[in-house]
Amino acid sequence: MRAAIAVVVVLLAGCSGRQNALDYASDQSRAIGDIWHLMLVVCGIMYLLMMGLLAWAIWHARRRLPDAPPATEAPAADGLLRKLLGSWTVLIVIGLFVLAGGSFFVDRKLAQSQDPHALQVRITGSEWWWQVEYLDPDPSRTVVTANELHLPVGRATRIELRSNDVIHSFWVPNLNGKTDLIPGRSNFQTITPRRTGQWRGQCAEFCGLEHARMAMDVSVEDAAAFERWRAAQLATARPPQSERQRQGQHVFMTSTCASCHAIMGTDAAGRVGPDLTHVASRRTLAAGALPMQPGALAGWIEDPHAHKPGTNMPATKLPPDQLAALVDYLMSLR
């Protein structure tokens, strides 16, 4: 029965994809999917029963209409009616118990993931981007990135959610439900991915002008690939490899960029915008607003508001050769 319903649902909604709550890729999203199906079945049965009874009642009322008043039959019908209503009440109570019990167990399953070996990640929401930190008991081994989340498959990740400004909501439908990021407090969410792949997260609480362009690029990888990524992110920024990249780094340090952005291994230590130490290793720019490509990067630096009108990054007018050198340097930060 459940399989049949799942097939219908898939046919109706085209239920696979990188931002889809019914395309489960973790223990948590599967649990949520199970309760969703349970509710669909229980409510579906109730609905069909209701409609059946309604049709039956209408049919009988129509047949009775031309006759004399039905009052004489009343006592006999009353007994039957009472039994029917009694069973109906029992059915409703059972249905509600099943639903309440189901939600209770799913809720516990989502809350209880207190795995001591869980990977610890802290995500901080800002208008309109995500800072992502991989915490380590040794602070010098903390990885800082932005707008991308890498998770090892088969291992729990405990995510602490915070906000720098207004309320945001973290939602990667394939991996878990929504959790709010609230200024002044920490909320938690655990994700135990079961399938490698790429998914899309999205801020799910209206947070201002660029709320819609506040996406998260999520990659679930096998343990080896994840450790490779983490080791690469731990390294300080790659030094310039050519004269042009050296010039680009100089432009970065001497214009306004360094006051808002950090590049580990250089003097740039700004904390207003995303950490750019390995910016070119990401797949998107500005929380999914643009692809990570030299042309898009140049366009972003020249006029961020053309691509993300509300963004808090100001435009920087540079002579073409300086802009090209700056882009060359940033694209070398893998």
Q: Which positions lie near ligand HEC, rule CB under 6 A? A: 128-129, 146-147, 210, 252, 255-257, 259-261, 272-274, 276, 279, 282, 285-287, 301, 308, 311-314, 316, 326, 330
Q: Which is nearer to Cu ion, 168 or 278 (CB)?
A: 168
Question: Which residues, other chains included, contact 156 with Cβ-Cβ below 8 Å and sequence gap of 6+?
Answer: 113, 115, 117, 118, 119, 190, 191, 192
- Does residue 125 sit in helix, strand or coil? strand
Q: Which is nearer to ligand HEC, 115 or 303 (CB)?
A: 303
Strand ranges of the sheet holding 168-171, from the earlier edge strand across to the other edge = 148-152, 215-221, 197-203, 168-171, 179-181
Alpha carbons 276 and 269: distance in angstroms, whole number: 10
Residue 179 token pair: 């959790």
Rule CB under 5 A: say whether 159 interacts with Cu ion.
no
Determine the distance from the C-alpha atom of residue 134 to the mean position of all C-alpha atoms in its chain, rounded to a whole number.
Answer: 18
109 binds, among Cu ion, ligand HEC, none (CB under 5 to 8 A by kind): none
- Let me know: does 325 contact 251? Beta carbons within 8 Å: yes
Rule CB under 5 A: say whether 22 interacts with Cu ion.
no
- Let me know: does 295 contact 286? Beta carbons within 8 Å: no
Alpha carbons 251 and 316: distance in angstroms, whole number: 11
Rule CB under 5 A: say whether 287 interacts with Cu ion.
no
- Residue 276: CB minimum distance to ligand HEC, A: 6
147 binds, among ligand HEC, Cu ion, none (CB under 5 to 8 A by kind): ligand HEC
Neighbours of 228 (CB within 10 A): 12
- Residue 41: CB minimum distance to ligand HEC, A: 42
Please select the residue that binds Cu ion; options are 25, 143, 204, 214, rule is CB under 5 A: 214
Window contacting Cu ion (CB under 5 A); options: 75-83, 168-176, 269-277, 318-326: 168-176
328 binds, among ligand HEC, Cu ion, none (CB under 5 to 8 A by kind): none
Alpha carbons 322 and 316: distance in angstroms, whole number: 11
Window contacting Cu ion (CB under 5 A); options: 60-68, 116-124, 212-220, 320-328: 212-220
